[in-house]
Amino acid sequence: VLAGDARDVFLVGDDDQTIYAWRLADVRRILELAARLPGLRRVDLTTNYRCPPEVVRRAARLVEHVTERFTKQIDAAPAATGTLILAADPGDEVARARKLLAAWVGRDPGSYAILARTNAQLVPYVAVAVERGIPYRIEQDGLALDDPAIDAFLDRVQHETSAAVPILLRISAIPDPPEAPGLHQTLLGWAAACGTLESLRAAVARARTARLELRDAAGALVLATAHGTKGLEFDHVAVVGMDEGVFPSDRSITEAPDPMRALDEERRLAYVAWTRPRQQLVLVYDPDAPSVFMREAFDPSELRPP
Q: Which candidate, 127, 104, 138, places its Cα nearest to that of 237?
A: 104
CA pair distance 283, 236, nearest whole angstrom: 11
6-40 per-position pLDDT tens digit: 878 888 888 888 877 766 778 888 888 888 888 88
Residue bearing the bigger pLDDT, 216 or 125: 125
Q: Please tell me the pTM assigned to this model.
A: 0.79
Query: Is a pLDDT exceeding 70 seen at residue 228?
Result: yes
Q: Taken in order 154, 138, 265, 235, is the CA torsion positive or negative? A: negative
For 231, other C-beta atoms within 10 Å of its C-beta total 8
- Dist. CA 200–CA 228, nearest whole Å: 34
Residues 157, 197 contacting (CB under 8 angstroms): yes
- Which residues make beta-bridge pairs with 223? 114
What confidence score (pLDDT) does residue 180 get?
65
Model confidence over 144-173: pLDDT tens digits?
566 777 888 888 888 888 888 888 888 888
What's the burial of 16, exposed, middle or buried (CB within 10 Å: 0-12/13-18/19+)?
Answer: buried
Confidence at residue 290, expressed as pLDDT on a 0 to 100 scale: 96
Cα-Cα-Cα-Cα torsion 144, 146, 147, 151, nearest 10 degrees, comes to 110
| Cβ atoms of 74 and 62 closer than 8 Å | no
pLDDT at 87: 95
Does residue 141 surpass a pLDDT of 60?
no
70: left (phi over 0), alpha (psi -120 to 50) or beta: beta
pLDDT of amino acid 128 = 86
pLDDT of residue 240: 95
Query: Averaging pLDDT over each range in 43-47, 145-149, 277-281, which range is the top one?
Result: 277-281
Amino acid at 52: P
Q: How confident is the model at residue 190 (pLDDT cuts 50, 70, 90)?
A: low
